[in-house]
Structure 1
Amino acid sequence: MATGETGFDDVTFDLISVQYHSLKAGHDYGQYVRDARNAGREDIASFFEEVMAQDSERARRCHEFMKELSGSSESGPAVS
C-alpha cells in the first residue's frame, strides 16, 4: 500500500475522509431539520433526521474500522 505524503495508506485515508464528511454533513443536517420544522414540514424534518442518523452510523463504523487498523502494518506509519 502506498502511503503518499500523508503517512496514511489509501484505505485509512479513505475511512478518515468518509468519517469527516459524515460528521460534517450530520452537523449541517441539524440546520435542515430546523428549517423544515420552521416551515411546518415535520415529514421533511423526519427525513433529515433519518439521513442524519445514517451519517452518524457511517461515521461510527469508520471509527471502528480505523481502530481495527490502528497498530497494524496495514495502516501505514501515521496510524501505527
Structure 2
Amino acid sequence: MATGETGFDDVTFDLISVQYHSLKAGHDYGQYVRDADNAGRDDIAGFFRQVMKEDSDRAARCHEFLKELSGTTESGPAVT
C-alpha cells in the first residue's frame, strides 16, 4: 500500500478519520438530545439517541479494524 507523507496508508487514515468524526458527532448529539428533550419532543430525542448509538458503533468498528492493522505491514510505517 502506498503511504503519503504522514507514513499512514490510505485505509488507516480513512479509518482514523471516520472514527474521529463519529466520536466528535456523538459528542455533539448529546446537546441535540437535550434540546429535543427540553422542547418536549421525545420522538426527535429518540432519533438523536439512535444516531448517536450508530456513530458510537461505527467508531467502535473502526477501532477494531485499526487494532487488526496495527503492527502489520498493511498499516504503513506510522503504526508498525
TM-score, with length taken from structure 2: 0.98
Secondary structure of residue in 1 paired with 2:55: helix
Distance 1:5 1:56 in 2: 30
Instruction: Please list, as runs of the form range in 1=range in 2, the aligned pairs for 1:3-22 lying within 5 A after superposition.
Output: 3-22=3-22
Task: Point out where structure 1 has 5 or more consecutive residues left out of the alignment.
Answer: none
Aligned to 1:77: 77
Provide the C-alpha distance between the structure 2 equivalents of 1:59 and 1:6, rounded to a whole number of angstroms: 22
Aligned residues: 80
Superposed displacement of residue 3, structure 1: 1.0
Cα deviation code 1:4-23 (max 9, x no counterpart)? 11110000000000000000
Q: Which runs of 4+ in 1 moved over 3 A?
A: none
1:17-48 CA-partner distances (Å, limit 9, x unpaired): 00000000000000000000010001100000
Identity of aligned residues (%): 84
Partner of 2:60: 60
| Runs of at least 5 residues in structure 2 that lack an aligned partner in the other structure | none
| CA distance in 2 between partners of 1:54 and 1:32 (Å) | 15
